[in-house]
Amino acid sequence: MNLPLTNRNHCTMDKDQKHLVCAQHAAEFLLENGHCVKGPCIGMKLESVPVDLIGGNVLLKD
């Protein structure tokens, strides 16, 4: 199932700024490779998508 990480178009980080935190179920993911290290999806990983960083904004590539 594909779900957005955020519910308000904001990337949520943990308090130490080391992991992405999913707004849907509070799972935590490593920034380097998207592997889940905490929550109901341990052992799984996020799907990577190609992006561009333009003017401080992360944009999906076509």
pLDDT at position 23 is: 80
**Alpha-carbon radius of gyration of the chain:** 12
Can you tell me which residue has the tokens 């779900």? 3
Q: Show the tokens assigned to 58.
A: 């992360």
pTM of the predicted model, to two decimals? 0.69
pLDDT at position 6 is: 63
Task: Measure CA 30 to chain center.
Answer: 8
pLDDT at position 38 is: 94
Q: What is the pLDDT of residues 8-54, one digit of tens each?
A: 656 678 888 899 888 888 889 998 999 999 999 999 998 888 889 88
**Interior angle at CA 40, CA 34 and CA 20, nearest 5:** 35
